[in-house]
Amino acid sequence: MAGYVQPDVVLRELRSVPLFADSHQVPDSDLMTLSRAVTRLTLKKNARVFEEATSADACFVMTEGRAKVVISGERGTEIILAILEPHCLVGELSLVDGSPRSAALVTLAESTFLRIPSEAFAELRRKSTAFQERLLNHVASTLRQTNEQLRAICSFQAVGRVAWCLSRLAARDGQSEGGGIVLKRPAHHEIAEMTGCSRETVTRALRRLKAKRCVTWDDERLRLDVDAFRRYLRGAVTFTLPRE
């Protein structure tokens, strides 16, 4: 369901997105012009916001909910490129180069997005060279993360893939706690889709990491022991865990 939203409300919500947060590079006047073209979109769980290989006429900012960016695999499978939380921007790459969507966006829970039309996004890029530079840095960072994921899937065995995935989730969502990194316990099927493994393989890999005292978990949280994690995986992966 799409609907109108007050521009001043859009402005406040966009300021929570890293790409739009700097008022010196993206002045209120320019962002307000963009905000007037924005509509709000609310979708139920498992809704497909856009599809891979389709043309792009907008990008989106998630304000509530949870969603996944996926590409198609063999025999109807999907590989998760990213899990989105509120204040994430998605779909901007196709607006930069004019190519079809490189991935699909699917909600994991009831979710709300701000829909930014391509024309309004392009106008902001034309107005501000500072924003254009900020956008290109953002796109480059996103592509690097995708490259790291592809390297993990193609180069590592199952334990290395799962360890890479946990490190990525910890770097993004984890909180330092007594020499470890604590995060909300991820679902096995989501780790599987991010690593190209089966759920059974993920379960075995997590048990191996637990046996080596690299990770522990309960019903709600998963904890990575930073020192044990690094010792066990030394030389096997190339990521860096967040420091306390």
Confidence band of 238 (pLDDT split at 50, 70, 90): low
Q: What is the DSSP string of 127-173?
A: H-HHHHHHHHHHHHHHHHHHHHHHHHHHH--HHHHHHHHHHHHHHHH
For the entire predicted model, the pTM comes to 0.80
111 close to 67: Cβ distance less than 8 angstroms: yes
Question: Picking from 39-43, 59-63, 137-141, 147-151, which range would have the lowest pLDDT averaged per residue?
Answer: 147-151
SS3 content of the chain, % helix, strand, coil (to 5): 45, 25, 30
Q: Which two tokens stand for residue 222?
A: 């998963």
pLDDT, residue 31, reads 94
Residue tagged 């790409």 (tokens) = 19
Task: Tell me which fold the domain 155-233 belongs to.
Answer: Arc Repressor Mutant, subunit A (1.10.10)
pLDDT in tens, 137-146: 999 988 888 8
Q: Around Cβ 224, how many Cβ atoms within 10 Å?
A: 25
Report the C-alpha dihedral over residues 151, 154, 157, 163, rounded to 10 degrees: 30
pLDDT in tens, 152-195: 888 889 998 999 899 888 888 888 888 789 999 999 999 998 89
**Three-class DSSP category at 239:** coil
Contacts of 187 (CB under 8 A, 6+ apart): none
Mean pLDDT of the region 207-234: 90
For the segment(s) 2-132, the CATH number from 3.60.15.10, 2.60.120.10, 3.90.1150.10, 2.60.40.1930 is 2.60.120.10
- Averaged pLDDT of the chain: 90
pLDDT, residue 25, reads 86
Nearest CA to 183 among 242, 112, 111? Answer: 242
pLDDT, residue 237, reads 59
**Is pLDDT of 242 > 90?**
no
The residue extents of the domains of the chain are: 2-132, 155-233
pLDDT, residue 149, reads 84
pLDDT, residue 220, reads 94
